[in-house]
Amino acid sequence: MGKHEAATGPGRVQQSGAAGLLGALAGAALAAHRGPRAAALGAVAGAAGLAAVDAVARARQRPGEIPALWSRIIASGAVAAPLGWAADRLTGAGPVPVATAAGAAAGALGLRPQKVLLGPVAGAAIGLGLARPGLAERGRRIPGSVAAAAAVVGFRMASALLFRDPQVSLLAERVRAEDVPFVVPLASQTRYVGTGYVRSLAQVLGGTYTPDVADIGIVASLDELAGPSFDPAGVDPLVREFYEHTTRFALDIVPEWRLWVRPGYLLYRTLVARPLGQASVPMSQREAQHGVRSRIDTVTGLPDGETVRGWIRSFADTDQPIYVGIYTTYRHEGRGYVSVGFPLPQASFTATLVPSARPDAGNGQGLVLDSRSDLDQSGHFLTYIDPQTAELTTMAVRGFAERLDVYVDDGELRAEHAFWVFGFAFLVLHYRMHRKSPRT
């Protein structure tokens, strides 16, 4: 992955100082029910203890890795303790409700549906165990700080035993773009991406911006994707035409959401996607019937001679963005890949997909693009881009997957775009692509 660096010098001192402060807060919260003196001693012990944990974990941390799981579990318990203390003081709810809420919050942060369900169950079980007669000291109930910390630590330990496959992992820390070719390292310079992103990108890169380019594709040539699993020569001509001349086609989308994900997605779209101007998929077929505007903006005249292609899909009536994606191809070890970068503020979310042939599609084969494979290049990657040095820190998001299946059915070009999160299918976008009417 390239040359990685671990935190050293002032950076490590700052991290240890933050750990000590967090430990002091946790120690004070855990001992506060015993009085001010105990709280002060608890703060000292907590600061020393968590600073030592952090120092040991970082000393054993390899370059490019995140701290060990055991140290992250202890730190999460330290975060929970003062929050549990505050909840107990403000509500007087007692250990069972506090532990249940702490477990639920920890489960929600885990994102995986199994963890979301496990969190409140584990928290409630731990809270009930703490509330059992004989465990509370001399009739005094267990403080909320202890209940919250125990619930979070207990949940995370159970989660680590039950869900062993990491869903997010650090791949590279402060590396050059060429060290991670599967990443599209283009970020948004503002907090809103929107349909004008490629225009602002041209100013950053110093290239020539051309909006709504006629007769251009999201790839220059489908031949760039040739490899062991895909021979472009066998592709149906209509599929090839779509990829090489995408702007000749209009798109109709019919979204098919799983019921379980609708409430969460509605909240995400309201709080994140729309304010961000990125990744705002239609919620229903009725909403999609407003129509989709599809265009490709480009940036040319760059020193490397490459053309940046930004495929922008927006609602036809409002021009509100659905997706703003930068489409690229590259080759690695004799195989072509498609990498699509979705710019975010000072970051990028990249989908790198492996091409393969889809048999029995029209007059030739269709095309499948899949993020799931045994190859080390494919997958989804969240990358922070340092605005000063342009160095990249990249996380692999293994809990997310997608498959795009493009084919011809009875002379009509169609596509099915399926998405999974943590192994659960949650969305399929059904596309119908047809040639636009000639411009007048």
Query: Per-residue confidence at 7, pLDDT binned at 50, 70, 90?
Result: very low
Average pLDDT of 282-293?
82
Query: Per-residue confidence at 135, pLDDT binned at 50, 70, 90?
Result: low
209 within 8 A of 337, measured Cβ to Cβ: no
353 within 8 A of 340, measured Cβ to Cβ: yes
Average pLDDT of 102-107?
84
Distance, CA of 218 to CA of 50 (rounded, Å): 51
pLDDT(132) > 80 = no
Average pLDDT of 254-272?
88
pLDDT tens, residue by residue, 73-93: 888 888 888 888 888 888 877
For 158, the token pair is 């159970």
Query: Per-residue confidence at 286, pLDDT binned at 50, 70, 90?
Result: confident
- Using a pLDDT cut of 70, give the percent of the chain over it: 90
Query: Per-residue confidence at 321, pLDDT binned at 50, 70, 90?
Result: very high
- Using a pLDDT cut of 90, give the percent of the chain over it: 46
pLDDT of residue 63: 63
- Range in 88-92, 274-278, 327-331 the model is least confident about: 88-92
- Range in 3-17, 98-112, 227-241, 298-312 the model is least confident about: 3-17
Average pLDDT of 6-15?
47
pLDDT(34) > 70 = yes
Average pLDDT of 232-236?
93
Q: Which residues face 255 on adjacent strands?
A: 429
DSSP 270: I
pLDDT(29) > 90 = no
Instruction: State phi, psi for 188 to the nearest 5 degrees.
Output: -90, 135
For 284, the token pair is 């229903």
pLDDT tens, residue by residue, 157-177: 888 787 766 667 788 888 999
357 within 8 A of 231, measured Cβ to Cβ: yes
Distance set, CA 190 to CA 56, 193, 226, 371, 387 (Å): 38, 7, 37, 28, 12
Most confident of 30-34, 363-367, 410-414: 410-414
Instruction: Let me know how long the chain is.
Output: 440
